[in-house]
Amino acid sequence: MQTVHIAARVVAAMAACALVLSASAATPAPAIAPSPWLVIDQNRDGIVADILARWSGVLQSPPAGALSEAQLRDALWKLRADQLFSASLAGSYAALVASLGDDAPGSSSKPNHKLGTSRPDLAYTPIVPCRIVDTRFGAGGTLTAGATRNWLATNPSGSFAAQGGSGTNCGIPVKAAAVAVNITVFNTSAGPAFVTAWPFQQAQPGTSTLNWTAAGSQVGIGALLSLCTGACAADFSMVATATTDMVVDVLGYFSAPSGGYVFSVAPAGAQFSSIQAAVDAAAALATANQPYLVRVAPGIYNEQVTLKDFVDVEGSGMATTAIVYAAGRPTVTTGAQAEMRHLTILNTAGGTLASGNGGIAVRQTAQTVNGFSRLIDVQAQAQGPGENAGIVVTGGPLHFTASDAGGGIGDPLSSGLQIGIMTDGDAFVTVRDSRVFGFSSDNARVARRLNASTLKISNTRLSGGPTEGAPNCFSVYNTNLQPAPCN
């Protein structure tokens, strides 16, 4: 959890009205907790003042291009309540400015953001208040001074019984990014003392979440807990400076809006700066019934990417988002039940294809048991020194649609073997509505089909050289001269 700023405190005040905790059990509460956003709007002046105070050091001597205090105050006042809350939790000045989005000074020409942009999209869902931690009945027992305890805050397929809480998942069906909770300490051994909570696997902050002044205190507070994201053994950590018992009740959760689970990637200011890191984190949560999307902002990402089941990768366009790799091949490995779209894939490694060391943009060696990969609106090109192939598939199905695939470069022409698409083994590749080329001064192959592999090409422009091993079928036309897919 980040520092409990005024935004969190006013939500806590609302939460306290909705639920009065007892040291022994929760008292009856309304079925639906009030929305925290109204309370944030009612306390907007205090929240804005708190944000300005926390970043006063930067504002007093702003670097070139930084916002003045007046500009920042004006932008904060224009934010929606949920955006103002996000700004209050910013851990860096860059993250604070990014949270302003279209309301940042000088951003009037930017297009309106939609769900799934490079900024994290979260929606708050209130629930019937539900206990997730009670140290009297589980959760590792009474907290001892200085001992860190790690707990779950969401457990979609399980319960909180091991933590002394509910025998259900508390009505939280997804792995949330944050939760609204009420925390109460009792049976405290000394004072003054405090408890700190923060996301699991992150550094402990130098702030307190809840404070008490004397032994035997019973104190409660509402808080918003940021949670660990990705493959996490726990969601949040807590430590107390004195021995105490504790209960934690959850009032609501923050997650991706219904209809999609989105991780964002950008060179700076997003959840991830690496596409592969985002794919791996999403794959740890994704299922056939809950697929994830990794949304990639414009930029050049120098890395190798391996697709994972039920995780799609979407760039911001062929001309603006590129995955580039020069230290090996391929740049992208497919074969998962996933789709990649709206970006460029480039490999500039050298060598010969016969030895497996040529430049390869996309390679697939096997099919996932869950399905097949799709590439849509993608440019896959290899143009390193030596031999190159845009796409090489030696196992499983790959569907390539409305895209470009090529080996080599056209001006000046590459030399040696340059292949657009190559198939071998039990590969099954369909190419539709695309362009495939091989650029070479002496040995271009627009396509190479080897052995028993299947290559079907429909409504596609082939250029730069002959095919080697005839494709299983090309585009055909019906009696009205309309294109008929090569299925």
Name the residue among 77, 54, 61 with its Cα closest to residue 5.
Answer: 54
Per-residue pLDDT tens digits for 391-442: 999 999 999 999 999 998 877 778 888 899 999 999 999 998 889 998 888 8
Residues 320 and 403 in one domain: yes
449 and 319 in a single domain? The answer is yes
Residue with tokens 């949270």: 99
Verify that 249 and 285 share a domain, yes or no.
no
Query: Quick one: pLDDT at residue 101?
Result: 64
Average pLDDT over residues 280-306: 90
Total number of domains in the chain? 3
Phi, psi torsion values for 31, nearest 5 degrees: -65, -35
Asked whether residue 15 is assigned to any structural domain, the reply reads no
Same domain, 381 and 479: yes
Does some domain include residue 343? yes
| pTM, two decimal places | 0.52
d(CA 298, CA 425): 36
Say if CB 154 and CB 235 are below 8 A apart: yes
Tell whether 274 and 131 lie within a shared domain.
no
**Cβ count within 10 A of residue 48:** 22
For 234-269, write each residue's pLDDT tens digit.
999 999 999 999 999 999 888 765 445 788 888 887
Assess if residue 13 is contained within a domain.
no
- Mark whether 421 and 438 lie in a shared domain: yes
Rounded distance, CA 87 to CA 95, Å?
8
21-30, 88-97, 262-271, 443-452: which has the minimum mean pLDDT? Answer: 21-30
CA 377 to CA 393: how far, in whole Å? 19
Q: CA 95, CA 306: separation in Å to the nearest integer? A: 28
Where a domain ends, among 255, 281, 299?
Answer: 255
Query: Does residue 163 share a domain with residue 271?
Result: no
Which of 237, 255, 273 corresponds to the end of one domain?
255
Least confident segment among 207-216, 223-232, 386-395? 223-232
pLDDT at position 26, please?
Answer: 40
Q: For residue 90, is pLDDT > 90?
A: no
- Residue 47's nearest CA partner among 80, 95, 94 is 80
Q: Which of 176, 208, 212 is nearest to 195 (CA)?
A: 208
Domain span including residue 52:
43-103
The answer to whether 378 touches 354, Cβ cutoff 8 Å, is no
Percent of the chain with pLDDT over 70: 78
Whether residue 226 sits in one domain with residue 172: yes
Distance between CA 191 and CA 214 in Å, rounded?
Answer: 4
Query: Which residues have a Cβ under 8 Å from the Cβ of 281 and sit 6 or more positions away?
Result: 229, 230, 231, 263, 272
Q: Are residues 367 and 413 in the same domain?
A: yes
Q: Is 210 part of a structural domain of the chain?
A: yes
Q: Distance (Å, rounded) from C-alpha 116 to C-alpha 260? A: 8
Judged against a pLDDT cut of 50, whether residue 297 lies above it is answered with yes
